[in-house]
Amino acid sequence: MPQSTRHIGLSLGADVCWPICFEEIIKRLDLKLELPDETVTFDVERVTIEPFDLRQDCKYDVVVDRLTHWYHTSREWIKKSIILNDLYVFNNPWSLQSMEKQTTYSAMIKLGFPIPQTWLVPPKEYEKVADLEPTLARYARMFDLGDVGKGLGYPMFMKPYDGGGWVGVSRIDNEEALKAAYEQSGKHVMHLQHSVEDFDAFVRCVGVGPQLRLVSYDPAAPLHDRYRMEEDFVDAKDEQILRDMTYTINAFFGWDFNSCEALRNKDGWFPIDFANPCPDSQVTSLHWHFPWLVGAIVKWAIFCAATKRSMRMNLDWEPFFKINEEGGTFEEKLPRYAALARKRLDVDAFDEFCVKHLSNFDEVIWEFFDSDRAREAIQAKVETLYPEHEIEEFTNLFWDRIQNWREGHRP
Domain boundaries, the chain: 3-98, 100-116+196-276+312-345, 120-144+155-194
Confidence of residue 194 (pLDDT cuts 50, 70, 90): very high
Please check the confidence at residue 169 and state whether its pLDDT lies above 70: yes
β strands within 185-310, DSSP E: 190-194, 201-208, 211-216, 257-265, 268-273
Q: Phi, psi (5° rounding) for residue 201?
A: -155, 135
Give the residue-averaged pLDDT of 170-178.
95
Give the residue-averaged pLDDT of 161-167.
73
Would you state the pLDDT for residue 165?
Answer: 64
Check: pTM over 0.75? Answer yes or no: yes
Q: Which helix (H) or strand (E) holds 63?
A: strand 62-65
Give whole-number Cα distances, 337 to 210, 267, 326, 332, in Å.
Answer: 15, 21, 12, 10
pLDDT tens column, 76-90: 999 999 999 999 999
Give the residue-averaged pLDDT of 245-267.
96
pLDDT tens column, 257-289: 999 999 999 999 999 999 989 888 999 999 999
pLDDT tens column, 322-333: 999 999 999 999
Would you state the pLDDT for residue 166?
Answer: 65
CB 145 within 8 A of CB 179: yes
CB atoms within 10 A of CB 291: 23
CA 104 – CA 86 distance, rounded (Å): 27
CA 58 – CA 43 distance, rounded (Å): 14
Residues contacting residue 372 through CB under 8 Å, at least 6 positions apart: none
Q: Which CATH architecture has domain 100-116+196-276+312-345?
A: 2-Layer Sandwich (3.30)
At 30, the amino acid letter reads D
At 397, the amino acid letter reads L
Would you state the pLDDT for residue 164?
Answer: 67
CATH topology of domain 120-144+155-194: Dna Ligase; domain 1 (3.30.1490)
> Nearest to residue 264, comparing CAs of 322, 205, 308?
205
Give the residue-averaged pLDDT of 353-361.
97
Q: For the sheet containing 211-216, what is the strand order?
A: 211-216, 201-208, 257-265, 268-273
Q: What's the CA angle centered on 301, arms 379 and 9, to 5 degrees?
A: 70
Rg (CA), the chain: 23
End-to-end CA distance of the chain: 32
Question: Hey, which CATH number is domain 3-98, 1.10.3470, 3.40.50, 3.30.460, 1.10.1060?
Answer: 3.40.50
Confidence of residue 97 (pLDDT cuts 50, 70, 90): confident
